[in-house]
Amino acid sequence: MNEIEKLAAAAKKASVVLSASGTMLRNKAVAAIADEIEKNSAEIIAANELDIAAARENGISESLIDRLSLSEKRIYAIAEAVRDVCRLEDPIGKLDGGGVRPNGLQIRKVRVPLGVVGMIYEARPNVTADAAVLCLKSGNACVLRGGKEAIRSNIAIAKTMRAAISSVGLPEDCITLVEDTSRQTATDMMKANGLIDVLIPRGGAGLIRSVVQNATVPVIETGTGNCHIYVDATADIDMAVRIAVNAKCSRPSVCNAAESFLIHKDAAEAFLKAVKSPLDRYQVEIRGCSRTREILGDEIRKATEEDYATEFLDYKVSVLIVDSIEEAMEHIAEYGTKHSECIVTESYKNAMLFTERVDAAAVYVNASTRFTDGGEFGLGAEIGISTQKLHARGPMGLEHLTTVKYIVTGEGQTR
């Protein structure tokens, strides 16, 4: 057994105890985690300062260091987020269907935990607490492997959480952190069939691609969003500008941000002239097709094929003027990542067509793609946004960390 298999086997053993625990005990454990994280904030911040010093030494960018940093205030926010999870409805034990069959067999389809959830993620240490608590609440043990930049912070947070759940009587291996952040441990997690029931990667496109390509355990693909705003011929231009600017600029680093504007030729001049100055205010770099440059001028950089395929996650946007809604939908089918796609239109027919034909987790009419989010969709919390079609699609909440079991009770029935 390699180190990961040992950790995962310990988590599996703990998961058996956890899956048989009740809602009250699991809530008590979650509440204890929130309290302990607050109580241990000095220790966690001290560990975090070592991570930040190491990051500075390694020349890590300031924006990454910002994501890595924990303050008293941020730790308080983490604890509050943990308490929010405590208040969510328990998905375990919910009856999902069933009934009595003609032969008298009684069938119940019951929600049960998945077992052991593996998470591979990057720099932000708050994910360590978020992910552990969502797994715990839904009766799953977890094996967490964060990025090496946050390892000292993650160790401090995990130690705190393990002590907290142990104090209420649950096995501490319900929350397991991988301390060795070498590439090998990630690979070993991808191959831990029978020990890890599902692996959820959270991070950049490279990480996610690597997991999808190499994992033999079931994976839920999350995240990459090359999202489009299509401004139809009949669009209300003011509304289109508001939506486009919000989708691009309100938080460009997240997956539900827009990366590309597609504009019907009849709306192109009005929309582009109106959207230019708000985009300029955010210093958004526009990369446009030749028709875009005819309208906005040659100072606009020419968009390449690669630009249309890129999730910038930055103050950059690609623009393409199209002749028809069909051309827009074909472009989305080719370049989109099936995350979130939007049409701005006043045409009933085109709204129907777009929502029916575009293949994505979330398809919007006249609203910003930024709403694709567990909180905004009313799921209460989110473990990630699935861009695959199996098991879960779109924002994943507690329910998506469960599976079903058929319980069949009889009186000696045979077939």
Count the residues of the shown chain that bind a second copy, applying the rule CB under 8 A.
66
Q: Within positions 113 to 142, which residues make up the interface with a second copy, using CB under 8 A?
A: 114-115
Burial class (CB in 10 A: 0-12, 13-18, 19+), 411: exposed
For 161, list phi and psi in degrees, rounded to 5.
Answer: -70, -40
305 CB-near residues (< 8 Å, 6+ apart): none
Residue selected from 176, 368, 397, 398 as contacting a second copy according to rule CB under 8 A? 368
Contact status: 270 vs a second copy (CB under 8 A): no
Q: Any idea what DSSP says for residue 59?
A: T
306 CB-near residues (< 8 Å, 6+ apart): none
Taken in order 41, 81, 173, 385, the sign of the CA dihedral is negative
What mask, x for binding a second copy by CB under 8 A, covers residues 81 to 110? ------------------x-x---x-x---
With tokens 């086997």, the residue in question is 9
Residue selected from 204, 218, 278, 380 as contacting a second copy according to rule CB under 8 A? 218
Residue selected from 78, 394, 396, 397 as contacting a second copy according to rule CB under 8 A? 394
Of 68 and 245, which has the nearer Cβ to a second copy? 245
Q: Which residues pair with 279 in a beta bridge?
A: none
Q: Within positions 228 to 257, which residues make up the interface with a second copy, using CB under 8 A?
A: 236, 239, 242-243, 246-247, 250
Assess contact for 331 and 311: CB atoms under 8 A: no
Applying CB under 8 A, the span of 146-154, 263-271, 317-325, 360-368 interacting with a second copy comes to 360-368
Contact status: 77 vs a second copy (CB under 8 A): no
Q: How far is the CB of 18 from a second copy (least distance, A)?
A: 12
Residue selected from 233, 347, 366, 380 as contacting a second copy according to rule CB under 8 A? 366
Q: Within positions 197 to 216, which residues make up the interface with a second copy, using CB under 8 A?
A: 197-198, 212-213, 216
State the Cα–Cα distance between residues 78 and 73, nearest whole angstrom. Answer: 9
- C-alpha to C-alpha distances, 356 to 94, 243, 339, 343, nearest whole angstrom: 32, 21, 15, 12
Burial class (CB in 10 A: 0-12, 13-18, 19+), 371: middle
Q: How far is the CB of 400 from a second copy (least distance, A)?
A: 10
Of 42 and 407, which has the nearer Cβ to a second copy? 407
Q: What is the DSSP string of 230-262?
A: EE-TT--HHHHHHHHHHHHHS-TTSTTSEEEEE
What mask, x for binding a second copy by CB under 8 A, covers residues 301 to 340? --------------------------------x-------
Burial class (CB in 10 A: 0-12, 13-18, 19+), 76: middle
Contact status: 361 vs a second copy (CB under 8 A): yes
CA-closest candidate to residue 222, choices 198, 241, 238 = 198
Q: Within positions 158 to 197, which residues make up the interface with a second copy, using CB under 8 A?
A: 193, 197
Of 59 and 102, which has the nearer Cβ to a second copy? 102
Of 226 and 368, which has the nearer Cβ to a second copy? 368
Of 7 and 396, which has the nearer Cβ to a second copy? 396
CA-closest candidate to residue 128, choices 74, 89, 92, 207 = 74
State the Cα–Cα distance between residues 347 and 366, nearest whole angstrom. Answer: 11
Q: How far is the CB of 334 from a second copy (least distance, A)?
A: 11
Q: How far is the CB of 170 from a second copy (least distance, A)?
A: 16
Residue selected from 7, 136, 157, 220 as contacting a second copy according to rule CB under 8 A? 220
Q: Which residues bind a second copy (CB under 8 A)?
A: 16, 19-20, 99, 101, 105, 107, 112, 114-115, 193, 197-198, 212-213, 216, 218-220, 236, 239, 242-243, 246-247, 250, 333, 351, 355-357, 359-368, 370-372, 376-378, 388-391, 393-394, 403-415
